[in-house]
């Protein structure tokens, strides 16, 4: 796997990403401030409770040998306690609502930003990023970020308030008991750190397994037919079992460790309780330290409040790390360079256009040149066939012409204008490609054709279908133009799909039409249909035909033979055959049986 495809579980730069993430939420500032405010209020109120209870206990007086109660004082305290309970619950409730809203808005903001970006990314971006991975970024990663903001941030803040608050209150009440209380905290922290470190490892493994599992399932579904027909079902199941085992192993271990945490913490908590009560009782009996029964009670409660956030710290840190790693993945998309489009020159609307490749050099992977000083001249209205072995770079030429990729060297001209100076939208209107792998979208037949030019009206739509010879088969469908089809719909034959794509291309009304092996996977009857349609569509256009079958290229005005990244022969069919060169060899090897 190339490095960029590997899932990162830990953020690469904590500070940088955090800073950026904070900047990202400027728009939700009001909600975040509201959340923090409400949380602070309810946490502070909760901090008062043990103190109030201890005061209430101290209104009971046993010193005279019998119980006397300071009722006035007790009633006041109970009333205040009631108020504290009510307000703290209210604050918590509003805080919950607020944070739900925050989650919703942040998720929406980021998701919008990412999806908008995804659409604008250049084709080359997707060469190195799997689609499943992209889906995960739009779902899991964004959820992780939203959770961080709405949960972890709140938990962290209240943890800080509780820890600081408890220590201050305890110190004021009794420094000695505070020390006793803190001694067990060290034990607590130690256990938490050791356990959660190990748990973290298994947890990461678990997340990685989930990712692999998802990608495997996605692949199995997408390639179902291949898997079934090559009878690799068993291998597929075995792989699935292996991934499941890995996942189970990691998650069981993570859960066992996670399960050990609460009982351990409760043992430490009880030790803490015993120590406070024992030392507190000694101090009470001694009488010289201002310790009352209420003080002891308050300390047992405070130490509990105090240890809770400490136990949560590891969870928060892991959540923070997960979210930061997610944020980095999301930022990677947001930062990826969108297709820049600085072209300003407008082409004239003359019918056919000329296309010129001038010394084009290009490689996908550094060092492996696919095109090497490639030059080719195509005149307006000319029908040029490109032939060459599989992998010779024919499709690459088309991708360069459409500016899906940029040449490393040399340039491509349309009507004498460098295509880098033409706005991409116009370029892609001027030149239209029909590919071997037909790209249909989920929707009706009409939607699929209309994709060619969304502004086209009904009449133009039908005319386009007719021009591409697709009208007959469309009429036979249950709902005609309104028949719903799926992207990978197998109810349509390859040829019918191809005819739809031709209709779409025809609707675009391009000035140059490129057919990239558009007919290599259709039967000969459909081929005839497509060919007729093409001939009709081609008559006023410049055409580049990349074809396997000789019948399609035999009538071309010019045939260019590509080998080793350049044009090695050009000429008409007959001339080239007579020359007995590369074309002749290709023709004898490749084209004889299909012609």
Ligand X SMILES: Nc1ncnc2c1ncn2[C@@H]1O[C@H](COP(=O)(O)OP(=O)(O)O)[C@@H](O)[C@H]1O
- List residues near ligand X by CB under 6 A: 127, 364-365, 370, 388, 390-396
Choose one: 209-217, 389-397, 502-510, 578-586; the region binding Mg ion (CB under 5 A).
Answer: 389-397
CA-CA-CA-CA torsion sign (76, 77, 80, 86): negative
Among Mg ion, ligand X, none, the one that 127 touches (CB under a kind-dependent 5 to 8 A) is ligand X
Instruction: State the nearest-atom distance from the C-beta of 435 to Mg ion, in Å.
Output: 8
Which of 374, 377, 363 lies closest to 413, judged by CA?
377
118 CB-side CA count, 13 A:
17
Q: What angle do CA 318, 334, 146 make, to 5 degrees?
A: 35
For ligand X, the closer of residues 296 and 513 by Cβ is 513
Identify the DSSP state of 67.
-
Q: Does 438 bind Mg ion (CB under 5 A)?
A: no
Among ligand X, Mg ion, none, the one that 393 touches (CB under a kind-dependent 5 to 8 A) is ligand X
Among Mg ion, ligand X, none, the one that 392 touches (CB under a kind-dependent 5 to 8 A) is ligand X
Instruction: State the nearest-atom distance from the C-beta of 127 to ligand X, in Å.
Output: 4
Count of residues touching Mg ion (by CB under 5 A): 1
Among ligand X, Mg ion, none, the one that 427 touches (CB under a kind-dependent 5 to 8 A) is none
- Helix 524-538 to helix 458-467 angle (10° resolution) is 120
Q: What angle do CA 515, 370, 586 make, to 5 degrees?
A: 60
Instruction: State the nearest-atom distance from the C-beta of 394 to Mg ion, in Å.
Output: 5
For Mg ion, the closer of residues 144 and 433 by Cβ is 433
Rounded CA separation 494/488 (Å): 11
For ligand X, the closer of residues 169 and 514 by Cβ is 514
Instruction: State the nearest-atom distance from the C-beta of 505 to ligand X, in Å.
Output: 18
For ligand X, the closer of residues 42 and 432 by Cβ is 432
For Mg ion, the closer of residues 252 and 439 by Cβ is 439
Instruction: State the nearest-atom distance from the C-beta of 399 to ligand X, in Å.
Output: 7
For Mg ion, the closer of residues 150 and 395 by Cβ is 395
Go through the chain and tell me how many residues it has. Answer: 595
CA-CA-CA-CA torsion sign (133, 136, 142, 145): negative
Q: Does 395 bind Mg ion (CB under 5 A)?
A: yes
Contact 561, 388 (CB under 8 A): yes
Which of 84, 87, 144 lies closest to 110, judged by CA?
144
For ligand X, the closer of residues 124 and 240 by Cβ is 124
Instruction: State the nearest-atom distance from the C-beta of 115 to ligand X, in Å.
Output: 23
For ligand X, the closer of residues 59 and 395 by Cβ is 395
User: Three-state SS string across 406-436, please?
Assistant: CCCEEEEEECCEEHHHCCHHHHHHHEEEECC
The values of phi and psi at residue 514, to 5°, are -120, 125
Q: Does 354 bind Mg ion (CB under 5 A)?
A: no
Identify the DSSP state of 4.
G
Instruction: State the nearest-atom distance from the C-beta of 392 to Mg ion, in Å.
Output: 8
Coil, helix or strand for 452? Answer: coil
For Mg ion, the closer of residues 91 and 362 by Cβ is 362
Closest-approach residue to Mg ion (CB): 395
Contact 205, 248 (CB under 8 A): no
Which of 106, 141, 93, 133 lies closest to 6, judged by CA?
133
Among Mg ion, ligand X, none, the one that 209 touches (CB under a kind-dependent 5 to 8 A) is none
Among Mg ion, ligand X, none, the one that 364 touches (CB under a kind-dependent 5 to 8 A) is ligand X
Instruction: State the nearest-atom distance from the C-beta of 537 to ligand X, in Å.
Output: 22
For ligand X, the closer of residues 408 and 484 by Cβ is 408
Q: Does 433 bind Mg ion (CB under 5 A)?
A: no
Contacts 24+ apart (CB under 8 A), 441-446: 441/487, 442/485, 442/486, 442/487, 443/484, 443/485, 444/479, 444/481, 444/482, 444/483, 444/484, 444/485, 445/474, 445/477, 445/480, 445/481, 445/482, 445/483, 445/485, 445/500, 446/481, 446/482
Side by side, the strands of the sheet bearing 431-434 are: 431-434, 512-516, 542-546, 383-387, 558-563, 566-571
Sequence-separated (6 or more) residues with CB below 8 Å from residue 237: none
Q: Does 215 bind Mg ion (CB under 5 A)?
A: no
Among Mg ion, ligand X, none, the one that 578 touches (CB under a kind-dependent 5 to 8 A) is none
For ligand X, the closer of residues 125 and 306 by Cβ is 125
For ligand X, the closer of residues 122 and 132 by Cβ is 122
Instruction: State the nearest-atom distance from the C-beta of 404 to ligand X, in Å.
Output: 9
Among Mg ion, ligand X, none, the one that 62 touches (CB under a kind-dependent 5 to 8 A) is none
Instruction: State the nearest-atom distance from the C-beta of 390 to ligand X, in Å.
Output: 4
- Please give the torsion angle defined by the CA atoms of residues 237, 240, 241 and 245, in that order, rounded to the nearest 10 degrees: 180
Classify each residue of 564-594 as buried b or exposed e, where b means 16 or more C-beta atoms within 10 Å of its C-beta. ebbbebebebeebeeeeebbeebbeebbeee
Among ligand X, Mg ion, none, the one that 126 touches (CB under a kind-dependent 5 to 8 A) is none
- Give the β-pairing of 512-516 and 542-546: parallel
Among ligand X, Mg ion, none, the one that 391 touches (CB under a kind-dependent 5 to 8 A) is ligand X
Among ligand X, Mg ion, none, the one that 309 touches (CB under a kind-dependent 5 to 8 A) is none
Q: What angle do CA 465, 466, 468 make, to 5 degrees?
A: 70
Among ligand X, Mg ion, none, the one that 388 touches (CB under a kind-dependent 5 to 8 A) is ligand X
Q: What Rg value do the Cα atoms of the chain yield, rounded?
A: 36
Instruction: State the nearest-atom distance from the C-beta of 97 to Mg ion, in Å.
Output: 56
Among ligand X, Mg ion, none, the one that 495 touches (CB under a kind-dependent 5 to 8 A) is none
For ligand X, the closer of residues 221 and 365 by Cβ is 365
Instruction: State the nearest-atom distance from the C-beta of 385 to ligand X, in Å.
Output: 13
Instruction: State the nearest-atom distance from the C-beta of 126 to ligand X, in Å.
Output: 9
Binding site for Mg ion (CB under 5 A): 395
């Amino acid at each position: 796997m190339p490095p960029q495809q590997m899932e990162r579980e830990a953020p690469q730069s904590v500070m940088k990403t955090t800073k950026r993430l904070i900047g990202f939420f400027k728009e939700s500032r009001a909600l975040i401030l509201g959340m923090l405010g409400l949380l602070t209020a309810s946490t502070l109120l909760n901090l008062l409770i043990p103190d109030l209870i201890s005061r209430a206990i101290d209104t009971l007086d046993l010193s005279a040998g019998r119980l006397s109660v300071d009722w006035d004082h007790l009633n006041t305290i109970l009333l205040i306690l009631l108020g504290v309970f009510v307000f703290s619950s209210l604050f918590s409730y509003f805080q919950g609502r607020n944070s739900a809203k925050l989650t919703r808005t942040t998720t929406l903001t980021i998701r919008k930003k990412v999806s908008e970006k995804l659409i604008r990314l250049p084709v080359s971006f997707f060469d190195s990023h799997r689609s499943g991975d992209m889906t995960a970024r739009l779902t899991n990663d964004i959820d992780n970020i939203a959770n961080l903001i709405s949960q972890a941030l709140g938990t962290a803040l209240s943890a800080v308030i509780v820890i600081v608050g408890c220590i201050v209150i305890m110190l004021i009440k009794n420094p000695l008991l505070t020390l006793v209380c803190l001694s067990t905290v060290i034990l607590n922290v130690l256990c938490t750190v050791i356990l959660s470190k190990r748990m973290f490892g298994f947890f990461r493994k678990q997340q990685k397994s989930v990712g692999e599992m998802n990608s495997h399932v996605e692949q199995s579904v997408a390639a179902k037919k291949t898997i079934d027909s090559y009878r690799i079902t068993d291998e597929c199941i075995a792989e699935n079992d292996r991934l499941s085992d890995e996942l189970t192993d990691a998650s069981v271990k993570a859960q066992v460790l996670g399960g050990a945490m609460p009982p351990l913490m409760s043992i430490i908590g009880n030790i803490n309780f015993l120590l406070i009560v024992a030392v507190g009782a000694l101090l009470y009996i001694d009488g010289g330290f201002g310790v009352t029964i209420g003080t002891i009670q308050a300390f047992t409660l405070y130490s509990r409040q105090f240890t809770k956030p400490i136990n949560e710290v590891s969870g928060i840190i892991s959540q923070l790390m997960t979210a930061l790693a997610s944020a980095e993945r999301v930022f990677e998309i947001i930062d990826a360079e969108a297709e820049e489009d600085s072209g300003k020159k407008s082409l004239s609307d003359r019918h056919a256009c000329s296309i010129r490749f001038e010394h084009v050099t290009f490689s996908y992977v550094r060092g492996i040149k696919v095109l090497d000083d490639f030059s080719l001249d195509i005149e307006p209205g000319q029908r040029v066939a490109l032939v060459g072995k599989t992998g010779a770079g024919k499709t690459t030429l088309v991708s360069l012409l459409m500016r899906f990729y940029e040449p490393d060297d040399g340039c491509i001209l349309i009507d004498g204008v460098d295509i880098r100076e033409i706005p991409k939208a116009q370029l892609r209107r001027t030149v239209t490609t029909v590919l071997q792998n037909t790209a249909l979208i989920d929707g009706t037949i009409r939607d699929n054709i209309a994709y060619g030019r969304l502004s086209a009206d009904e009449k133009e739509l039908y005319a386009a279908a007719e021009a591409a010879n697709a009208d007959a088969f469309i009429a036979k469908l249950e709902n005609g133009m309104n028949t719903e089809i799926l992207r990978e719909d197998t109810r349509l034959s390859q040829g019918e799909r191809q005819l739809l794509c031709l209709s779409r291309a025809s609707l675009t009304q391009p000035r140059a039409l490129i057919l990239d092996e558009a007919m290599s996977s259709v039967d000969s009857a459909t081929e005839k249909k497509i060919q007729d349609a093409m001939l009709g569509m081609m008559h006023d256009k410049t055409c580049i035909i990349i074809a396997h079958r000789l019948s399609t290229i035999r009538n071309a005005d010019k045939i260019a033979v590509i080998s080793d990244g350049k044009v090695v022969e050009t000429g008409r069919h007959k001339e080239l055959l007579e020359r007995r060169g590369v074309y002749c060899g290709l023709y004898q090897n490749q084209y004889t049986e299909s012609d």
